[in-house]
Amino acid sequence: MADAVMKVVQGMKGPGQHLRAVLVQVTIDGQQVVSQAVGESMTGVPATTDMHFRNGAVAESYMSTLLLMLVDEKKVSLDDKVAKWLPDLPHADDVTLGQFVQMTCGYVDYEQLPEFTAANYAEPFKLWTPKELLSYAVGKPPWYTPGTNLNYAHTNYVILGLALRKSPGRT
């Protein structure tokens, strides 16, 4: 099985592909099948399995799924205000858990702020904490009244993650 996985990985780096490096781990029923790094993360810097990368849009799927699982378990409601778990968050009384996955909260997207971009480029390997990420966005006025418009914001999933960490039945 590991050989088959690595054959696919090698193909991802092959001719016509644009990947410089691939980190892969496959686990089946709790047993690690393969964990390897292939390629260079930067010129002359081999990729290793100890490296980290931002998971980007993958977070949307699992955060939304976790929220809906908690709704099914009747531990939270899509209509719960985020203030229930994050009372000190600006505008927390105005925003529901459901609005985070609907992208209708109105929070500023920290990824679109020049000051965040500058800080991120200054330290490209920094592992940002949720508090650091939110420091760029939540102190700013919302782009609109929650529930009245739509915008993609990375901020939403950071806040949702913090709220779900504090929800009942989850560590």
Digit-coded pLDDT (tens) for 10-33: 877 767 777 788 888 888 888 888
Q: Is the pTM of this model over 0.75?
A: no
Predicted confidence at residue 91, as pLDDT, reads 94
What is the C-alpha to C-alpha distance for residues 86 and 155, in angstroms, rounded to an integer?
14
| Pair 159, 80 in one domain | yes
| Pair 152, 102 in one domain | yes
Q: Which two tokens stand for residue 29?
A: 């029923």
| Pair 34, 73 in one domain | no
DSSP class of residue 52 equals -
What is the C-alpha to C-alpha distance for residues 56 and 8, in angstroms, rounded to an integer?
22
| Pair 152, 122 in one domain | yes
How many angstroms separate the most distant Cα atoms in the chain? 53
60-107 pLDDT per residue, tens: 888 899 999 999 999 999 999 999 999 999 999 999 999 999 999 999
| Pair 24, 83 in one domain | no
Report if residue 75 sits inside a domain.
Answer: yes
102-127 pLDDT per residue, tens: 999 999 999 999 999 999 999 988 88
Domain residues for the domain of 34 are 2-46
Exposed (0-12), middle (13-18) or buried (19+): which is 12, by Cβ within 10 Å? Answer: middle
124-147 pLDDT per residue, tens: 888 899 999 999 999 899 999 999
Q: Which two tokens stand for residue 144?
A: 């609109």
Tally of structural domains, the chain: 2
DSSP class of residue 171 equals -
Report if residue 153 sits inside a domain.
Answer: yes
* Other beta carbons less than 10 A from residue 1's beta carbon: 9
| Pair 65, 41 in one domain | no
Q: How far is CA 62 from CA 37, 66, 69, 89, 135, in A?
A: 24, 6, 10, 23, 24
Predicted confidence at residue 119, as pLDDT, reads 96
| Pair 42, 81 in one domain | no
Report if residue 52 sits inside a domain.
Answer: no
* Other beta carbons less than 10 A from residue 123's beta carbon: 9
Contact 11, 5 (CB under 8 A): no
| Pair 35, 62 in one domain | no
| Pair 38, 70 in one domain | no
28-56 pLDDT per residue, tens: 888 888 999 888 888 899 989 888 766 66
